[in-house]
Amino acid sequence: MPPIPLSFIRRVFLVTLAALSGCSEKDDSAAQHSYSPEITVEDLADRTAILASDAFGGRPPSGPMADKTVAYLTEAFKRMGLNPAFEDHYVQNVPLVSIAARPDAILQITSPKLERRYDYGSEMMVWTTRVVKEAGIKDSDLVFVGYGITAPEYGWDDYAGLDMAGKTAVILVNDPGFSTKDPELFTGNAMTYYGRWTYKYEEAARQGADGAIIIHETAPASYPWSVVENSWSGPQFDLVRSDENAGRVAIEGWVQSFVAEEIFADAGLDYQSLKQAAAKPGFKPVPMGLKADVSVQNTLERSKTVNVGAVLTGVSHPDEAVVYIAHWDHLGEGPAVEGDIIYNGAADNAAGVASVLEVAEKMAASPQRPARSVLFLFVGAEEQGLLGAYHYADNPAFPLAKTAALINTDVVLPLGEMADITVVGRGSSDIEAVLESVTTEQGRRLSAYPNPEQGFYFRSDHFALAKKGVPALYIDTGTEHVEKGRDFVTKAKADYVANRYHKPSDEVMTDWDWRGVVLDVEAIYQVGWQLAQSRDWPQWADNTPFKAIREESADERR
């Protein structure tokens, strides 16, 4: 336990003063307001500094530095007097496999007239997520399926009337709302999950396709081709699932847009006009009259990571849970940048872990017990594709049907006191209403994530559980500094993304000011606490694909 810092005394004094004078929160400035739990700058800064230090080696998903990180978290939970989340254990094993494709595959596209060959890396990327040494497609008929979306809540089905057996889907990235900017289509400019590449491959598999190839374009993907090429080069980690991913399509991949232009022309089709047609309701898939051949050779390696979890057991509904989640892992060691090989991940996500540890410590120390259980969950291998979170979603400590809400903290930038708190995926669930009432009491407000078209809501751990219906809140540092305004924050965040995100330079910065993080942690403490005391079950918004999934288990919540 850290020593009681001065700010604790100052805060207790202010709260006591406020109580004595009977003044309401209206009289308090945001800076003075405090809930009863004593969230401190010192706790947050100290724990972040430890986890982000070189001594923790950048917290890779496995190996001695992973063990050290996990031991640190486990010891912290024990000291707080919290119960192990996984029967008698604080850790849950997560079996992993890495699949490294040989980088020499050739994608061959054959029309009645000609045959084209595309190179791995510069023109296309292909791989298989099946846990096999070799996979491929042969003479597979290409079908242009537009955005490759089946979304009953939007009355949309790009696969309507198609049997995809033996066929390969050719798919646009993002969704019709983004491409048309029509607020009536999907969620307009904000990306839905249907826009994410992960969804496209999952849906093609559900449709029984052989292969699924996404056409890359920088704006709708929100990143250039180099990101596609780098992300899928080298070993790709995945969970070892019971079916070894046999249910996935044999070949997943991307092609550059100039490749798409070329093969559409070969097929006698106009790519640009079909792209426009695909964004309109009633679009029908188009068989291209082309065949695809490609095979990939893999090297497989098995390993494991772990999730770490502890529980504050509820007094009246111990089988129901509110979950705080943050990924403990980062990238470990990697290519040297200015002589530094340790990717410390201070903001991503040492500071997120420190935030959840602070909630855990203060809630565990509270004399009042929650009605529902509260789970503090640190997941591993997030950077490899939310793998720890997906494993937890398949093997939860509490039934997902009775998991009332999830609160995720991933990337925390201590930029000082903020007038607001950002909700990524704003409007997703009514957990946001609870957060809004809490931040209003703090004299602050909620903001939407400024770039919803990038689909960040679908790119962090909470999403693995959202996909199974658990209502999830994903918060981020606010958008407006109390004294320095909006520009300061916009620039600071852009500087982080350009110069430190996923680089060895994501280290604790000397100019970090934790006062805003203290308010954010107070806010999530209070949201989790209120939900743990409540009989309410937060709901998904109507326009999310998760609402229908949640409703399937409604009986278990009566």
User: Would you tell me which residues interact with Zn ion (CB under 5 A)?
Assistant: 348-349, 410
Minimum distance of Zn ion from residue 502's CB (angstroms): 9
In the bound state with Zn ion, the residue whose beta carbon lies nearer, of 236 and 409, is 409
In the bound state with Zn ion, the residue whose beta carbon lies nearer, of 309 and 352, is 352
Provide the sign of the torsion angle of the four alpha carbons 454, 201, 411, 463, taken in this order: positive
Minimum distance of Zn ion from residue 231's CB (angstroms): 15
Minimum distance of Zn ion from residue 422's CB (angstroms): 15
In the bound state with Zn ion, the residue whose beta carbon lies nearer, of 349 and 428, is 349
Minimum distance of Zn ion from residue 431's CB (angstroms): 20
Query: Strands 156-157 and 150-151: what pairing?
Result: antiparallel
Minimum distance of Zn ion from residue 348's CB (angstroms): 4
Contact 177, 189 (CB under 8 A): yes
In the bound state with Zn ion, the residue whose beta carbon lies nearer, of 59 and 130, is 59
Cβ-Cβ contacts under 8 Å for 115 (sequence gap 6 or more): 108, 109
Q: In angstroms, rounded to a whole number, what is the distance separating the alpha carbons of residues 149 and 157?
A: 6
In the bound state with Zn ion, the residue whose beta carbon lies nearer, of 348 and 432, is 348
Contact 438, 515 (CB under 8 A): no
Q: In angstroms, rounded to a whole number, what is the distance separating the alpha carbons of residues 175 and 195?
A: 5
Transcribe 229-295 into DSSP letters.
HHHTSS-EEEE--TTTTTTS-SEEEEE-HHHHHHHHHHTT--HHHHHHHHTSTT---EEEEEEEEEE
Side-chain-side CA neighbours of residue 127 (13 Å): 26
Minimum distance of Zn ion from residue 500's CB (angstroms): 13
Radius of gyration of the CA atoms of the chain, in A: 24
Minimum distance of Zn ion from residue 342's CB (angstroms): 16
In the bound state with Zn ion, the residue whose beta carbon lies nearer, of 60 and 211, is 60
Of 473, 499, 62, nearest in space to 305 by CA: 62
In the bound state with Zn ion, the residue whose beta carbon lies nearer, of 343 and 537, is 343
Cβ-Cβ contacts under 8 Å for 469 (sequence gap 6 or more): 400, 401, 540, 546, 549, 550, 552, 553
In the bound state with Zn ion, the residue whose beta carbon lies nearer, of 140 and 454, is 454
In the bound state with Zn ion, the residue whose beta carbon lies nearer, of 252 and 358, is 358
Q: In angstroms, rounded to a whole number, what is the distance separating the alpha carbons of residues 460 and 410?
A: 7
In the bound state with Zn ion, the residue whose beta carbon lies nearer, of 140 and 349, is 349
Minimum distance of Zn ion from residue 522's CB (angstroms): 22
Compute the CA torsion angle 342, 346, 349, 352 (nearest 10 deg). Answer: 160
Q: In angstroms, rounded to a whole number, what is the distance separating the alpha carbons of residues 414 and 319?
A: 35
Minimum distance of Zn ion from residue 245's CB (angstroms): 24
What's the distance, Cα to Cα, between the start and end of the chain in Å?
40
In the bound state with Zn ion, the residue whose beta carbon lies nearer, of 59 and 550, is 59
Residue 212's Cβ-count burial label (10 Å; 0-12, 13-18, 19+) is buried
In the bound state with Zn ion, the residue whose beta carbon lies nearer, of 8 and 501, is 501
In the bound state with Zn ion, the residue whose beta carbon lies nearer, of 136 and 414, is 414
Contact 520, 421 (CB under 8 A): yes
Minimum distance of Zn ion from residue 410's CB (angstroms): 4
Q: In angstroms, rounded to a whole number, what is the distance separating the alpha carbons of residues 334 and 350?
A: 18
Q: In angstroms, rounded to a whole number, what is the distance separating the alpha carbons of residues 46 and 350?
A: 11
Minimum distance of Zn ion from residue 148's CB (angstroms): 27
Minimum distance of Zn ion from residue 463's CB (angstroms): 12
Minimum distance of Zn ion from residue 496's CB (angstroms): 12
In the bound state with Zn ion, the residue whose beta carbon lies nearer, of 358 and 410, is 410
Minimum distance of Zn ion from residue 51's CB (angstroms): 13
Both tokens of 10, joined, read 């100052």
Of 73, 27, 34, 103, nearest in space to 378 by CA: 73
The single residue listed with the structure tokens 């949640």 is: 550
Q: In angstroms, rounded to a whole number, what is the distance separating the alpha carbons of residues 377 and 399?
A: 15
Q: What is the 3-state secondary structure (H, E, C) of 304-337?
A: EEEEEEEEECCCCEEEEEEEEEEECCCCEEEEEE
Peptide bond into 349 cis (omega under 30): yes
